């Protein structure tokens, strides 16, 4: 058996429950001789020699799945090629190695956030043959000084708890640029070599009314010993199965997709068929059959037809708690989808809310074994939580869409003698954008436009947007001028902010102390008090020569720019106070002619403050230079050119809302 000496700082652990025939941890430990140089990345997937394979994995959610597949494939390949000692690689050992590597890779990706190096080594020693697996990340912690410190430094996370409970030996190796967690699992005596998973449905597997099935295990002490081995293996296999299920279900944003995944997880591993009902929340309140799956696809339609007639309705246990998994009558007309057998129904419950029901069936059984029932209940809890997350995301997305429709104008009107174009892009992942725009007719021969940006984000910013747009429209249509509109809107926003502060103060008094307020309540209520706004009027020239008269004002907003027909760019309007800061502020407007061919550009700070490292897009008049490049383009061309320039300014997506409004005077007929 190959032996190595741990280098630099190597913290070795050996479980107190390790089997007596396990190889001592001090005899061998990573790093293995011949491993790749520190930081080396394989060029094409896995690499290695006889009894040694390694691979680099990305620091992404797919790493755990890839790691499990790598370990299982590696061990199967060693058995197929007949490597010395490979005949002792049992299915139990493979399941354990696959489970542990999944947990360690998940921990490395989540906590270290780096790419992962995975190494698998076969240590041949007859019946005591072992498999050693190393999981290395590129974020090494401070080297620890002792065994107790190592446990404290690494924490009692689930991954290391499983390693301590299952592995025969394990340890942590610190290098200059790598931290490696390794474990060793030792082969059992070779009663069962590597092969397909053991049949867990050995009890009462018989056709209804038929003769008992052939016993899969011999009677007597040998049966008891093998049964203990099977139960242990089933336990580890269940952990692997649940780990895989969690990987697949996490991050799913659609409840129907969750139902489809769980059906494919269960069939055919644990059942011949599976159905998932979801609570649809409709007027009837009846559950919806979201997914039906059968190992024989031709039988799916017949099974669905039968199940739709009789959805499972599970009652509570009588003590106020929901029911757990329980037997369910086998559906009628078995010829439609298979012979009779056992069916099991399990509610999908997260917290106190029921999200649906999971129903599975397996032909030839009188009942499901207790181990399978427990496993299904555990799986059902994970499925319910995934559905709850997907439902929450769907509700939030629906609210966001409704708000966006209400907060943004509809069809952009045609302004005589003026072409318009708009770019509006909420930042990625935004609940609702803080930027807003509008262009509307305020009276005979008079159009108004606005481009605003609320200080803050989320529902607080949306609330201010929902206040500003309708108030401004109402004031404009009542005939108020630009300055008067901003004066009145400013007082409205400031008073709303004062009411918000008063509400916080009242909540503090009611709660008894500020610390007793709901976390973040004060911060959220103080957000989005202020509003930057560019507001103006357009009156097209009535002499038929084209162009328009513009009157506008900027309240704490990036100043608008005008692109002349000669390619020059000039700023118009003067900077003034944000809306909502001081109630008695008076705003001034200025007017100018927008000649045919000239372009007025209005943007939010998502454009001017687009960041690339330490540079901003508008540094050294960057926006004016980009606008000058648009000479000769129409309104749509100007908008698209500037949008492209802003996106190309940095490699990462914009971290703020992006909005711009282009108004271009066109020649008369």
Q: Considering 186, 212, 246, which residue would you say is the last residue of a domain?
A: 186
Q: Residue 308 — left, alpha, or beta (φ > 0 → left; ψ -120 to 50 → alpha)?
A: alpha
How many CB atoms lie under 10 A from the CB of residue 76?
Answer: 15
d(CA 381, CA 475): 55
The pLDDT of residue 137 is 85
Beta bridge partners, 548, equal 540, 594
Could you tell me if 107 and 147 lie in one domain? yes
Q: Which residue has the tokens 């290391």?
A: 160
Out of 96-105, 257-266, 392-401, 415-424, which region has the weakest mean confidence (pLDDT)?
A: 392-401
Give a yes or no: residue 197 inside a domain: no
Beta bridge partners, 517, equal none
The pLDDT of residue 63 is 82
Could you tell me if 439 and 342 lie in one domain? no
Cα dihedral 166/171/174/177 (nearest 10): -30
The pLDDT of residue 668 is 72
Confidence of residue 625 (pLDDT cuts 50, 70, 90): very high
Beta bridge partners, 419, equal 664
Out of 224-228, 240-244, 364-368, 371-375, which region has the weakest mean confidence (pLDDT)?
A: 224-228
Q: Are 78 and 89 in contact (CB under 8 A)?
A: yes
Give a yes or no: residue 205 inside a domain: no
**CATH no. for residue 623?**
3.60.40.10
Give a yes or no: residue 626 inside a domain: yes
**For residue 156, what is the enclosing H or E element?**
none
Could you tell me if 611 and 659 lie in one domain? yes
Give a yes or no: residue 196 inside a domain: no
Could you tell me if 393 and 414 lie in one domain? no
- Residue 40 CA to its chain's centroid (Å): 30
The pLDDT of residue 624 is 95
Give a yes or no: residue 539 inside a domain: yes
**CATH no. for residue 261?**
3.30.450.40
Give a yes or no: residue 123 inside a domain: yes
Average pLDDT over residues 212-229: 39
Cα three-residue angle 66-67-72, rounded to 5 degrees: 100
**Above pLDDT 90, what percent of the chain?**
25
Cα three-residue angle 65-70-74, rounded to 5 degrees: 155
Could you tell me if 566 and 482 lie in one domain? yes
Domain of residue 157, residue span: 9-186
**CATH no. for residue 125?**
3.30.565.10
* Nearest one of 525, 592, 601 to 563, comparing CA atoms: 601
**For residue 570, what is the enclosing H or E element?**
strand 569-571
Cis upstream peptide for 655 (omega within 30°)? no
The pLDDT of residue 37 is 37
Q: Are 31 and 4 in contact (CB under 8 A)?
A: yes
The pLDDT of residue 654 is 87
Confidence of residue 630 (pLDDT cuts 50, 70, 90): very high
Beta bridge partners, 658, equal 425
Could you tell me if 432 and 381 lie in one domain? no
Q: Considering 354, 369, 399, which residue would you say is the last residue of a domain?
A: 399
Confidence of residue 154 (pLDDT cuts 50, 70, 90): very low
Could you tell me if 374 and 479 lie in one domain? no
Confidence of residue 207 (pLDDT cuts 50, 70, 90): very low
d(CA 167, CA 180): 16
3-state SS string for 19-37:
CCCCCCHHHCCCCCCCCCC
Give a yes or no: residue 95 inside a domain: yes
Spell out the residues 6+ positions from residue 491 whose beta carbon is closer than 8 angstroms to its own. Answer: 583, 584
Beta strands in 95-178 (DSSP E): 116-123, 130-137, 169-174
Beta bridge partners, 348, equal 356
The pLDDT of residue 109 is 74
Could you tell me if 618 and 470 lie in one domain? yes
d(CA 454, CA 475): 19
The CA R_g of the chain, rounded to the nearest whole Å, is: 34
The pLDDT of residue 427 is 76
Could you tell me if 351 and 432 lie in one domain? no
Beta bridge partners, 254, equal none
Could you tell me if 168 and 20 lie in one domain? yes
Give a yes or no: residue 4 inside a domain: no
Out of 240-244, 547-551, 662-666, which region has the weakest mean confidence (pLDDT)?
A: 240-244
Could you tell me if 308 and 420 lie in one domain? no
Confidence of residue 46 (pLDDT cuts 50, 70, 90): low
| Positive or negative torsion for Cα 206, 208, 210, 211 | positive
Q: Which residue has the tokens 């540094």?
A: 619
pLDDT reading at 568 higher than 60: yes
Kindly state the tokens that stand for 224: 């008891």
Q: How high does pLDDT run on average in the chain?
A: 75
d(CA 300, CA 311): 16
d(CA 649, CA 337): 60
| pTM as predicted | 0.51
d(CA 666, CA 159): 67
Could you tell me if 436 and 570 lie in one domain? yes
C-alpha atoms less than 13 angstroms from C-alpha of 129 in its C-beta half-sphere: 23
Cα dihedral 148/149/150/156 (nearest 10): 80
User: Domain count of the chain?
Assistant: 3
Q: Considering 343, 378, 399, which residue would you say is the last residue of a domain?
A: 399
């Amino acid at each position: 058996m190959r032996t190595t000496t741990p280098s630099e700082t190597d913290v070795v652990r050996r479980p107190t429950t390790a089997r007596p025939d396990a190889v001592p941890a001090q005899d061998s430990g990573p790093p293995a001789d011949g491993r790749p140089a520190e930081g080396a990345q394989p060029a094409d997937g896995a690499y290695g020699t006889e009894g040694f394979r390694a691979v680099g994995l990305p620091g992404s959610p797919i790493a755990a799945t890839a790691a499990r597949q790598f370990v299982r494939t590696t061990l199967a390949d060693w058995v197929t090629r007949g490597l010395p000692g490979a005949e002792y690689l049992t299915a139990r050992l493979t399941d354990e190695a696959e489970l542990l590597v999944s947990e360690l890779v998940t921990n490395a990706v989540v906590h270290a956030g780096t790419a992962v190096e995975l190494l698998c080594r076969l240590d041949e020693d007859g019946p005591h043959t072992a498999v050693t697996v190393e999981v290395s990340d590129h974020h090494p912690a401070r080297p620890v000084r002792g065994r107790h410190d190592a446990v404290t430094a690494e924490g009692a996370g689930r991954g290391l708890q499983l390693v301590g409970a299952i592995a025969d030996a394990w340890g942590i190796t610190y290098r200059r640029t790598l931290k490696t967690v390794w474990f060793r699992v030792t082969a059992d005596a070779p009663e069962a070599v590597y092969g397909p998973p053991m049949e867990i449905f050995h009890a009462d597997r018989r056709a209804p009314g038929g003769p008992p099935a052939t016993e899969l295990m011999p009677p007597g002490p040998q049966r008891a010993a093998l049964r203990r081995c099977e139960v242990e293996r089933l336990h580890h296999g269940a952990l692997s199965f649940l780990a895989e299920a969690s990987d697949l279900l996490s991050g799913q944003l659609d409840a129907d997709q969750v139902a489809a995944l769980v059906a494919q997880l269960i069939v055919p591993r644990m059942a011949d068929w599976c159905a998932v009902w979801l609570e649809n929340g409709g007027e009837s309140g009846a559950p919806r059959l979201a997914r039906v799956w059968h190992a024989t696809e031709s039988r799916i339609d017949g099974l669905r037809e039968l199940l739709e007639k009789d959805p499972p309705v599970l009652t509570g246990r009588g003590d106020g708690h929901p029911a757990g998994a329980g037997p369910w009558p086998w559906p009628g007309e078995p010829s439609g989808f298979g012979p009779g057998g056992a069916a099991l129904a399990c509610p999908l419950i997260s917290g106190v809310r029921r999200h649906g029901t999971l129903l599975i069936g397996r032909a030839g059984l009188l009942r499901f074994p207790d181990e399978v029932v427990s496993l299904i209940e555990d799986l059902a809890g994970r499925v319910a939580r995934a559905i709850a997350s997907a439902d929450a995301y769907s509700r939030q997305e629906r609210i966001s869409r409704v708000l966006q429709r209400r907060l943004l104008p509809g069809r952009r009107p045609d302004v005589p003698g003026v072409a318009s174009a708009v770019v509006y892009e909420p930042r990625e992942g935004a609940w609702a954008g803080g930027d807003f725009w509008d262009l509307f007719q305020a009276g005979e021969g008079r159009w108004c436009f606005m481009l605003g940006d609320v200080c803050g984000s989320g529902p607080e910013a949306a609330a201010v947007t929902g206040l500003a747009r309708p108030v401004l429209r109402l004031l404009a249509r009542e005939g108020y001028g630009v300055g008067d509109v901003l004066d009145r809107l400013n007082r409205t926003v400031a008073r709303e902010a004062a009411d918000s502060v008063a509400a916080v103060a009242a909540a503090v008094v009611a709660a008894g102390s500020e610390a007793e307020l709901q976390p973040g309540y004060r911060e959220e209520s103080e957000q989005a008090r202020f509003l930057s706004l560019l507001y103006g009027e357009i009156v097209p020239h009535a002499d038929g020569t084209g162009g328009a008269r513009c009157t506008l004002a900027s309240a704490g907003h990036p100043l608008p720019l005008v692109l002349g027909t000669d390619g020059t760019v000039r700023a118009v309007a003067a900077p003034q106070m944000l809306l909502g800061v001081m109630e008695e502020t008076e705003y001034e407007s200025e007017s100018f002619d927008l000649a045919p061919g000239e372009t007025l550009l209005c943007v939010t700070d998502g454009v001017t403050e687009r960041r690339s490292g330490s540079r901003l897009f508008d540094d050294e008049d960057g926006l004016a230079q980009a606008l000058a490049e648009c000479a000769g383009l129409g309104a749509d061309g100007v908008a698209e050119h500037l949008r492209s320039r802003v996106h190309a300014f940095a490699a990462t997506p914009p971290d703020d809302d992006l909005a711009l409004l282009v108004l271009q005077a066109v020649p008369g007929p």
